[in-house]
Amino acid sequence: LRDCMRGRINADEGWIRLGGLEDYASKISKAKRFVMIGCGTSWHAGLIGEYLFEDLARIPVEVEYASEFRYRNPVISEKDVVIAISQSGETADTLAALEIAKEKGAFLYGVVNSVGSSIARTTHAGSYIHAGPEIGVASTKAFTGQVTLLTLMALYLAHHRGTISEQYYRKLITELTLIPEKIKKVLQQDDKIKYIAAEIKDRQNAIYLGRGYNFPVALEGALKLKEISYIHAEGYPAAEMKHGPIALIDENMPVIVIATNRSAYDKIVSNIQEVKARKGTVIAVVPEGDDTISRIADYTIEIPETEDPLSPLLSVILLQLLSYYTAVMRGCNVDQPRNLAKSVTV
Ligand code: F1P
């Protein structure tokens, strides 16, 4: 994260510098719409991007799996900016989707990790994550790098367009620079996370719930558990639970609730009560000092307080670690999960 932010943000002076973006700032900030495309974890980063861009910069965003976009006939024009998100920069579906967007005249922007990769070469402009290569196959630090970069872009555009106050802009960029220290505090809860992993390791299924910015985090938490520990897991917006997934809840179902949002807090509390009433095991991720959810949940893990738009950067690290320990306890190879490829080039 520090590498991703290095030289790009100065909280004291209140600036963000993103080479690829600044050169095209007036074009990009006039876009009628952003379309974010990616696969797997990168698609989840795009979803967080949607929340950030719409919330802060007030530009409409659509997010689509590149693997679906390429096989339909999407409405795209020269008024759109298509943002391709990819760790490897070589994913075949994302490249094919970009070619379609290019034919239709869209401006293509890359958010990639690999310098000189095929996606970087296909796009008109872009920003590198600078997270360094992933050692394992499953994307982890690339994800936090992607989200950091999308946060910087959203803040830059919001400031450029005047859609947030100077005071809030300053507050968010100051808070962003504090995130690496706060992540250290999350990592200090290692023993507690291991303890919870021991609870999950023999389960067949898991449900992840989150609201607002934490909904894509729930999706990513579930994907990470599937990818490296082979436990079936699904993420849902917390409010969707009553529209179907609630039928799955019984004493065998662990439900991981990411409950760090101050807004809609009461609603999350009632979601947790609904799970407890059906004997589900609740593992709640809560803000530091919370004493309401910790009284009802079976397990709670605290994360330091931060602004809502930045909370995914803290909560996802914890979920990555939970998947990691669960996988290790199940004897899975976390660096080389079965059936997965580092870059899916076909
Ligand atoms: C996309 C992706 C990863 C996943 C796995 C397969 O790759 O779905 O999110 O962890 O490695 O590929 P990329 O386009 O981000 O390189």
| Ligand 1 pocket test target in 95, 123, 219, 343 with most atoms within 8 Å of CB | 343
* Res 15 pLDDT > 90: yes
- pLDDT of the residue at 20: 85
171, 194, 201, 342: the catalytic one is 342
Region 98-107: mean pLDDT is: 96
Q: Is 39 in the pocket of ligand 1 (CB under 6 A)?
A: yes
Q: Is 84 in the pocket of ligand 1 (CB under 6 A)?
A: no
Domain ranges of the chain: 2-183, 188-329
- pLDDT of the residue at 255: 98
> Are 129 and 26 a contacting pair, CB within 8 Å?
no
Q: What is the pLDDT of residues 131-157, one digit of tens each?
A: 877 777 788 999 999 999 999 999 999
> Are 303 and 288 a contacting pair, CB within 8 Å?
yes
* Res 1 pLDDT > 90: no
* Res 346 pLDDT > 80: no
Q: What is the pLDDT of residues 197-219, one digit of tens each?
A: 999 999 999 999 999 999 999 99
- pLDDT of the residue at 135: 77
Nearest CA to ligand 1 atom 5: 138
On the question of a common fold for 2-183 and 188-329, the answer reads yes
Q: Is 323 in the pocket of ligand 1 (CB under 6 A)?
A: no
Q: Which atom of ligand 1 is nearest to the CA of 88?
A: 16
Region 112-130: mean pLDDT is: 90
The rounded distance, in Å, linking the Cα atoms of 103 and 117 is: 20
Q: Is 86 in the pocket of ligand 1 (CB under 6 A)?
A: yes
The rounded distance, in Å, linking the Cα atoms of 92 and 336 is: 20
Is 342 assigned a catalytic role?
yes
Across the chain, mean pLDDT equals 93
The rounded distance, in Å, linking the Cα atoms of 312 and 309 is: 7
Q: Is 129 in the pocket of ligand 1 (CB under 6 A)?
A: no
- pLDDT of the residue at 168: 97
CA 86 from centre of chain: 13
- pLDDT of the residue at 136: 78
- Residue given tokens 């367009």 in the structure block: 161
Could you tell me which residue, 262 or 219, shows the higher pLDDT? 219
* Res 164 pLDDT > 80: yes
Burial tier of 330 (Cβ tally within 10 Å: 0-12, 13-18, 19+): middle
- pLDDT of the residue at 65: 97
Q: Which atom of ligand 1 is nearest to the CA of 138?
A: 10
Q: What is the pLDDT of residues 218-243, one digit of tens each?
A: 999 999 999 999 999 999 999 999 99
The CA 340 to ligand 1 mean position distance, Å, reads: 9
May I ask the CATH class of domain 188-329? alpha beta
Tokens of 70: 């390429």
Region 13-21: mean pLDDT is: 90
Q: What are the distances in angstroms from CA 21 to CA 81, 153, 165, 187? A: 12, 8, 21, 32
| Ligand 1 pocket test target in 344, 345, 346 with most atoms within 8 Å of CB | 344
* CATH architecture observed for domain 2-183: 3-Layer(aba) Sandwich (3.40)
Q: Is 41 in the pocket of ligand 1 (CB under 6 A)?
A: yes
- pLDDT of the residue at 41: 96
pLDDT grade, residue 338 (50/70/90)?
confident
Ramachandran category for residue 292: left, alpha or beta (phi over 0 → left; psi -120 to 50 → alpha): alpha
| Ligand 1 pocket test target in 64, 70, 87 with most atoms within 8 Å of CB | 87
* Res 2 pLDDT > 80: yes
Q: Is 345 in the pocket of ligand 1 (CB under 6 A)?
A: no
> Are 261 and 212 a contacting pair, CB within 8 Å?
yes
